[in-house]
């Protein structure tokens, strides 16, 4: 019984070793080049997206600043002057 088990174990070991040698594969040089090129392309795409996002948000900031300067601030100042009666107080000041 022990001898049969040892034979069986040896056969299994030989089969596993044969499968190990058979399953070894080589990778073509083109695959390595493609992987390297793809890595560089992904880096370039990431840089491009970052620049696009920065440009977009800078445009949004500019639009908000233009709105505040040209539309919101004049209306706010006009209402502030009217509510606080600032114009009347300035005219009431003595000259000089």
Distance CA 72, CA 10 (A): 88
Residue 6 counted as domain residue: no
Which residue from 40, 37, 17, 21 is spatially nearest to 29, judged by alpha carbons? Answer: 37
Q: Is residue 19 part of a domain?
A: no
At 64-77, the pLDDT tens digits run 999 999 999 999 98
Contact 49, 55 (CB under 8 A): no
Q: List pLDDT tens digits, range 5-24.
A: 778 878 888 887 777 666 66
Answer yes or no: is 88 within a domain: yes
Task: Identify whether 72 is part of a domain.
Answer: yes
Within-domain flag for 73: yes
Query: Domain for residue 70, yes or no?
Result: yes
**Does residue 87 form part of some domain?**
yes
User: What CA–CA distance (Å, rounded) separates 79 from 85?
Assistant: 10
pLDDT of residue 44: 92
pTM comes to 0.49
Q: Which domain holds residue 86?
A: 61-96
- Residue 94 or 96, more confident: 94
Structural domain count of the chain: 1
């Amino acid at each position: 019984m022990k001898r049969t088990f040892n034979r069986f174990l040896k056969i299994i070991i030989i089969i596993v070793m044969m499968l190990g040698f058979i399953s070894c594969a080589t990778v073509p040089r083109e695959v390595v080049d493609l992987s390297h090129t793809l890595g560089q392309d992904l880096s370039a795409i990431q840089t491009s997206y970052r620049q696009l996002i920065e440009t977009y948000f800078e445009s949004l900031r500019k639009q908000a600043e233009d709105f505040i300067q040209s539309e919101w601030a004049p209306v706010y100042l006009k209402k502030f002057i009217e509510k606080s009666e600032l114009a009347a107080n300035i005219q009431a000041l003595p000259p000089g």
